Every structure is written in C-alpha cells, then in structure tokens.
Amino acid sequence: GAVVSQHPSRVICKSGTSVKIECRSLDFQATTMFWYRQFPKKSLMLMATSNEGSKATYEQGVEKDKFLINHASLTLSTLTVTSAHPEDSSFYICSAPPIAGHTEAFFGQGTRLTVV
C-alpha cells in the first residue's frame, strides 16, 4: 500500500523560531498534498493544499506568510511554521489523495508541535 512518511513526530520549539515539517510519499508520486491541523477533541481542519510545481492553495483564514508550504518534488511536501507562537501548538497532519485502486487518502503519522 501507499505510505506517507511525516517527520518529525514531535517537536518543541521556542516562540519566535521556525519549524519545518516534512511529508514524503515513499512508494508513489504525490502531485498534491493536503495539510491539516487538529486541536484537541476537534476535527481535522484543512489548512492548505500543496501542488507540485505551483503555488499552494490556502484555506480562508490561514496566513500564507506564517505557514509556508512548498512542494519541492513529486515525493516531498513541506510545511514551515514561521515565527511560531504558543497558539500554533497543535497536531499537524499531511495527507495524499487516493491513488489508483484506492478510495481512501493516505495520512502521514502526524507532528505534535509544542511552542514554549
């Protein structure tokens, strides 16, 4: 089956610093990657959609300059949280759309970000 590898799984950073989260599709090519954040006991909220070779599409209310998304290749998409604040602490998950023969999306393992 298709595997999406996301790392780091956990990161603690100081306020004002930047953190990069990577998602790699290991055995397939992903031209699109969805980035979600999830607060405790809340649903997955789509932040943005990255597209290989073009600019990411951001959902309403998501700051483009704060959450930098880059889709560098067909197997790598990154989310950089810039000038992190404690309110950015959350669970971030990437997801690739279904591939041929599958109906379900493929998720990375998730990244727990804590900003102190």
Partner 1 sequence: GQNIDQPTEMTATEGAIVQINCTYQTSGFNGLFWYQQHAGEAPTFLSYNVLDGLEEKGRFSSFLSRSKGYSYLLLKELQMKDSASYLCAVKDSNYQLIWGAGTKLIIKP
Give me the amino acid identity at 31. Answer: T
- Closer of 75 and 111 to partner 1 (Cβ): 111
> Least distance in Å: CB of 107 to partner 1?
4
Q: Is the dihedral angle over the CA atoms 42, 82, 58, 30 positive or is it negative?
A: negative
Q: Phi-psi region for residue 110, left (φ > 0), alpha (ψ -120 to 50) or beta?
A: left
Site residues (vs partner 1, CB under 8 A): 6, 34, 41-46, 91, 93, 103-105, 107-110, 112
- 33 contacts 95 by C-beta, under 8 angstroms: yes
> Least distance in Å: CB of 67 to partner 1?
18
- Closer of 8 and 110 to partner 1 (Cβ): 110
- Closer of 74 and 105 to partner 1 (Cβ): 105
> Least distance in Å: CB of 18 to partner 1?
23
Q: Which of 68, 62, 63 is nearest to 81 (CA)?
A: 68
HSE (side-chain half, CA atoms, 13 Å) at 90: 19
Segment (H or E) for 94: strand 90-96
> Least distance in Å: CB of 24 to partner 1?
14
- Closer of 44 and 76 to partner 1 (Cβ): 44
